[in-house]
Amino acid sequence: MSLLDRFSLGEGFKKYFEISSAFDEESRNAVFGIRHEVYCEELGFEPVRPDRRETDEYDRHSLHCLLRTANAPQTLVGCNRLVLARPEDPDYPLPFERTCAATINRSIIDPARQPRGAIAEVSRLAVRAQYRRRKGETKAAVALSDEDFGTQNQPRFPYIPIGLYLAIVAMAKREGIETLFVLTEPRLAEHFSKLGVKITQIGGPVEHRGTRIPSMMDVEAIIKGLRFFVKPIWRAIEAQVDAGYTAPGRPVFDTPLQSGG
């Protein structure tokens, strides 16, 4: 990537990728299929399902995004989800609240005491193997490393993982979410600081498909703090996510939801 391209990340993203909210049944099934391919068949994190769809109890009150290649024939690349509080049972814990129950530092923040409609969790990032096949990435559903950003003389940009994260931020903004929680690899905060994104660790590490750290991000601060060169890709992704909200099909979570996946 040239230095000029680095300041045109929005055009670069649109040239290669397309991201959308997965509100319709076909898109959600594509999300569940990617997750099954990555989490069940490839990495063995979850059991293989006869229908080849990886789902859990949280999908009933989650919003999903789906990343494809931009040019025909379009190929599925990856997915992500935003886990919301249950409208019929807002005190029901988010996934990380269970996993990190013993390690959360509640003097920093106690998720259980936050307005439940204003918090959500970033969860189930998955990128298909052919789009992340690099040394050290074979045992991770998605990965970021220093080399993804290149050097001063040879800059690069990790369109796929950053695109998936920014899409969830765009969805969180639309949903009125103020605080995002994420359970992720220890070095994510360092990588995201290159973009102007502050991630605050809120507890000790846990073993969950590798060492993971519970952290939080402020949605408004993310958007305001993005570095100059990241803003074009943010605007491109936000526009694509917003377009999905103009079409019918966005799930409504204001009535009791059925349990199960």
Gap between the Cα atoms of 217 and 180, Å rounded: 5
Tell me what the mean pLDDT of segment 96-118 comes to: 94
Task: Examine residue 90 and say whether the peptide bond preceding it is cis (omega within 30 degrees of 0).
Answer: no
> How is residue 231 written in tokens?
């803003």
State the pLDDT at residue 252.
66
Closest to 216 in 3D by CA, of 201, 204, 206: 201
Q: What is the pLDDT of residues 140-175, one digit of tens each?
A: 555 544 444 333 333 347 899 999 999 999 999 999
Q: What is the pLDDT of residues 31-42, one digit of tens each?
A: 999 999 999 999
pLDDT band at 258; cut points 50, 70, 90: very low
Q: Does residue 256 carry a pLDDT above 50?
A: no
Q: Does residue 188 carry a pLDDT above 90?
A: no
Q: What is the pLDDT of residues 201-221, one digit of tens each?
A: 999 998 888 888 999 999 999
Higher pLDDT, 16 or 137: 16
The fraction of the chain above a pLDDT of 70, given in percent, is 83
| Full DSSP string of 62-73 | EEEEEEEESSSS
State the pLDDT at residue 141.
53
State whether residue 98 is helix, strand or coil: helix
Mean pLDDT (the chain, rounded): 85
State the pLDDT at residue 260.
36
Q: Give kind and range of the element (H or E) at residue 191.
A: helix 188-193
Q: What is the pLDDT of residues 36-78, one digit of tens each?
A: 999 999 999 999 999 999 999 999 999 999 999 998 889 999 9
Give the residues across from 82 on adjacent strands.
Answer: 63, 122
Gap between the Cα atoms of 90 and 98, Å rounded: 15
